[in-house]
Structure 1
Amino acid sequence: MNEQEFRQKQSLPYEAKLKHAEQRAWEFYDAVDSCHVSVGGLDSITLLLWLRSIGIDVPAISVSQLEDKSIQEIHKDLGIVPLKAIKSKATVLKEFGFPVISKQVAGKIALLQNPTDKNKTVRNAIITGDCGKQGGYRKGTRMRLPQKWLNLFGGPENDKYGTDYQTAPFLVSNKCCYYLKEKPCNDWARIHKSSPYLGLMASEGGQREMALVRNGCNYYGKTVTRSAPFAIFSRQDLLQLALDLEVPVPKIYGEIVRDPDGTLRTTRAQRTGCSMCGFGIHLEKRPHRFDRLREDNPKEWHYWMYDVGWGEVLDYIGVGWEDIPK
């Protein structure tokens, strides 16, 4: 499926998308020796129950301890196999750094904060957009960090480039997902020789969108084999399916409601993840995810904000947290 075909399928009516998803799900089921569902929040809970509704009843796994308590309760009710993270959340933050802005941006900042001879060319591209010999001498590429983040995190390179960028008083990293979720799930899959169904949608944007558009719903690679039946779904499609299936909605999301213009939304969180994840926090209106954590679990909020240092991180990137939003 090329990009044009993928975009066309994204514009299909809801019922047609469901039929397409069912075809892809069964195609994957028949193509691999064994498969399972990797479950997190509402999207993948909906995926699990939808797969069961069409007759694909396979094991479901999750590092449930990372999720909100209301999600953990539903995982338990659905019989999802709980896995353990490789490292604790606090250990990952201490060893590698805080997950802020986005996975892509955090990865670039981590390179700037950990300079070596081997990453010198990449660091130059992150600062200037110029890729050098290894990148075909391309200039002004998207490798360059947006100026806003260079101003805050480009400090380690000041001597070389004569800039006046700040140096953050904390480390940044995109490695948390690997140690907390990806590796435990990948290890389980390898031991059981199983390939996953994932609740990914291209409409979420970012790196996920690029990967799904490039590789399609089902991907059979040398090192990665996976199915994302909902790849062409919009958020509205996913929420409509959750309503159709009467999916149990975790408390952290609130309820699924329909606005006067017909748009579906959840009344609390629109997306969830680890309680200490900061990817995208700068884009959220208040009350944001950490505000909701404060409401639901004040002790955990206090731990992350004050003991671990998330408060300092949020202050640095200009995100309010200490006051209580009205």
Structure 2
Amino acid sequence: MIGLNNNELKMLQSLPLNIKVGKSILRIKEFTSYYGIDGVYVSFSGGKDSSVLLDIVCKFCVLYGYKKVYVAFSDTGLEFPELKQFVGNYVKYLSLKHKIDVILDKVRPNMSFKQVVSKYGYPVISKKVSRSLHDLQNPTSKNVNIRNLYLTGITSTGRECKSRKLAKKYYPLINADFRIHNRCCDKMKKEPLHKYEKDTNRKPIIGMLAEEGEERKKAYMQHGCINWKRESCNPLGFWKEQDVLQYIWENKIPVASVYGQLIIIDGKFKFTGEQRTGCIFCMYGCHLEKGEDRRFIRLSKTHPQLYNYCINGGEYDEEGKWVPSNKGLGLGHVLDQINVDYKEVK
């Protein structure tokens, strides 16, 4: 399944769930047959997608006679507290359910979110926009061409590349009084897991859906479920979110309590609580949210102490840049600049 086009991906995404499960298990088998069960691990965030992935990997182990599987959880400190508690309980649950050893390893970043944001910058709008804004905020002789690409959509060779052009509505953020960068995910999640891979010589099995964004879709269409160059397996890549929720429903898979209850509305599965459980402090995409469903509005209701820590605090450093302080992360000031309403609901 390498070099897929849009129609081929849509065909895979339209398959019934039982066929998708079977295909995913075959991809896990192919990957594990090459590296061995001791040479792979499941990257487990505690979210719904990785919970389904880990259950399927356990089913694979039972089916092919493996007695153990390694799991790595990146404990960033940015997770919902309910999610962090769920991780250990779910691993124990699967061990009993499938009668195999689900061996949990926890990895931690070398920097806190506060330190990352202070040094590199706040994550706003999207990873791509944040990276663009970082370069535009920090002009050097070495990034002239890439800055010109962001502003004009024209490469150094004169080729038009509109997808890399920064929307003019984000131009004011170039001169914002706070740093902007996309390094947060690298520092908090990817680097600790890369170190784990180097230390253990294990290769990751991850649970990312192609439908979650253009970059993930592009990567899946290029490599399929197994990226042999990067030595990683993404057996759920052709699944859709409704498949994940249907699997949870049909297999009675427990999920973190922060999701609430899984219900069916107008023929679609939906959680009554959080729909996604990424990093609590992340601002990617929050400018697109509307009404009472906005993440920081929800956070003010469900986790008021975390909300206060996120929104309040902040101070100017010696370079005149807004950074977190001892009183909080200062996200309120940043959200004001990107016109996101985060006001606490009383």
Q: TM-score, normalised by structure 1?
A: 0.89
CA gap of 1:140–1:230, structure 2 versus 1, over 3 A, is: closer
Partner secondary structure for residue 164 of structure 2: coil
**1:179, distance to aligned residue in structure 2 (A):** 0.8
Q: Which residue of 1 aligns with 2:286?
A: 281
- Give the letter aligned to residue 144 of structure 1: K
Q: Which string of whole-angstrom CA distances, capped at 9 and with x for unpartnered residues, describes residues 219-262 of structure 1?
A: 111xx211111000011001111122322121221121111x21
Per-residue CA deviation, residues 251-276 of structure 1 (Å, 9 max, x unaligned), is 221121111x2111111221121111
Residue 127 (structure 1) aligned to one of 151, 162, 166? 151
1:1-326 to structure 2, matched below 5 A, reads 1-4=2-5, 5-33=8-36, 34-40=39-45, 41-55=47-61, 57-64=68-75, 65-79=77-91, 80-132=104-156, 136-139=157-160, 141-150=162-171, 152-154=172-174, 167-221=175-229, 224-259=230-265, 261-285=266-290, 286-307=292-313, 308-324=329-345
Q: Give, in angstroms, the shift of residue 171 of structure 1.
A: 1.1
CA deviation after TM superposition for structure 1 residue 140, in Å: 5.4
C-alpha separation in 2, matches of 1:278 and 1:215 = 29
Which string of whole-angstrom CA distances, capped at 9 and with x for unpartnered residues, describes residues 72-129 of structure 1? 1111113432211120011111111111111111111111111111111100110111
Cα distance, 1:302 vs. partner? 1.0
Would you say the 8 A contact 1:249–1:255 is kept in 2?
Answer: no
Q: Aligned partners of 2:191, 2:302: CA distance in 1, in Å?
A: 29
Runs of 4+ in structure 1 displaced over 6 angstroms? none
Distance 2:145 2:258 in 1: 43
Counterpart contact for 1:124–1:130, Cα < 8 Å: yes
Equivalents in 1 of 2:126, 2:161: separation in Å? 21
Q: Matches of 1:238 and 1:23 in 2, distance apart?
A: 18
More moved, 11-20 vs 210-219: 11-20
Deviations 1:102-160 (A, max 9, x none): 1111111111111111111100110111212xxx211352211122212x224xxxxxx
CA distance in 2, matches of 1:288, 1:28: 39
Q: Which runs of 5+ in 1 are unaligned?
A: 155-166
Deviations 1:25-63 (A, max 9, x none): 111111114100111111112211221123264111112
Q: Distance in 2 between matches of 1:19 and 1:128?
A: 46
Q: Does the aligned pair in 2 maintain the 1:6–1:216 contact within 8 Å?
A: no
Can you give the 5+ residue segments of structure 2 that lack an aligned partner in the other structure?
A: 92-103, 314-328
Aligned length: 306
Aligned alpha-carbon RMSD (Å): 1.6
Q: Secondary structure at the match of 2:236?
A: coil
Structure 1 counterpart of 2:320: none
Matched letter for residue 153 of structure 1: L
Aligned-partner SS, 1:142: helix
Contact preservation (8 Å) 1:131, 1:141: no
